[in-house]
Amino acid sequence: MQELIKFINQYSNLSESSVVALEQRVVFESYEKNEIVLRQGDRANKVWFIKKGLLRKFYYNNGKEITTWIHAENEMFTSMHSYFQQKPSQETIQAIEDSELISLSYEKSVELNQYPEFNSFSQELLTKQFSAIDEFSKRFSLMSASEKYNALIEIAPEIIKRAKLGYIASILGISQETLSRIRSKK
């Protein structure tokens, strides 16, 4: 729980009363490896914070799973468009290691918006996360396969260390075989 508070404080400074308000509203959840946290088509009515574990976001394209990102400890995640617009999610979120999460529902987060600290936190989180996605997709679209791989090592070493080859290749938009060859030469 301290990790979550620390995370939020990066964006906005929580008062003692707002910390209490937060603690009263969060829920602890556990998922086993391969369990689905959010299914495509369902509404993302929560945001989650990762205490422990690894979570994968993906969607289907012609029956194939396309992994878009993998989140690790001390990160927050949700299906952004689904949560902020309260519409069905395009993406599925799956635990790819046994995971322990702290969740906050949309309704409770609306309650917390009475506290201006939370208001600015969610605005900033929204902006930063989307900016990051935007920048990531623009930067990566101009790189070769191995440049993308090297850039991912820099920005997300946890993914490289813990996720399997196929998922990493999918994030980079390259084939498994190509990633395997990139790794073998060096």
Partner DNA sequence: AATTTCTTTTGACTTAAATCAAAAAAACGA
Partner DNA sequence: TCGTTTTTTTGATTTAAGTCAAAAGAAATT
> Between 2 and 141, whose beta carbon lies closer to DNA?
141
161 contacts a second copy (rule: CB under 8 A)? no
The rounded distance, in Å, linking the Cα atoms of 168 and 51 is 22
Q: Which does 180 bind (CB under 5 to 8 A by kind): a second copy, DNA, none?
A: DNA
> Between 2 and 61, whose beta carbon lies closer to a second copy?
61
45 contacts DNA (rule: CB under 7 A)? no
- In contact, 96 and 107? CB cutoff 8 Å: no
The rounded distance, in Å, linking the Cα atoms of 99 and 69 is 16
The rounded distance, in Å, linking the Cα atoms of 174 and 24 is 44
Q: Which residues of 83-118 are buried (b: 16+ CB within 10 A; e: fewer)?
A: bbeeeebebbbbbbbebebbbbeeebbeebeebebb
Q: What pairing do the DSSP bridges indicate for beta strands 46-52 and 64-71?
A: unpaired
Least spacing, CB of residue 179 vs DNA, in Å: 7
Least spacing, CB of residue 55 vs a second copy, in Å: 18
Residues contributing to the site for a second copy (CB under 8 A): 59, 61, 66, 68, 80-81, 84-85, 90, 123, 126-128, 130-131, 133-135, 137-138, 141-142, 173
- Binding residues vs DNA (CB under 7 A): 144-146, 164-166, 173-181, 183-184
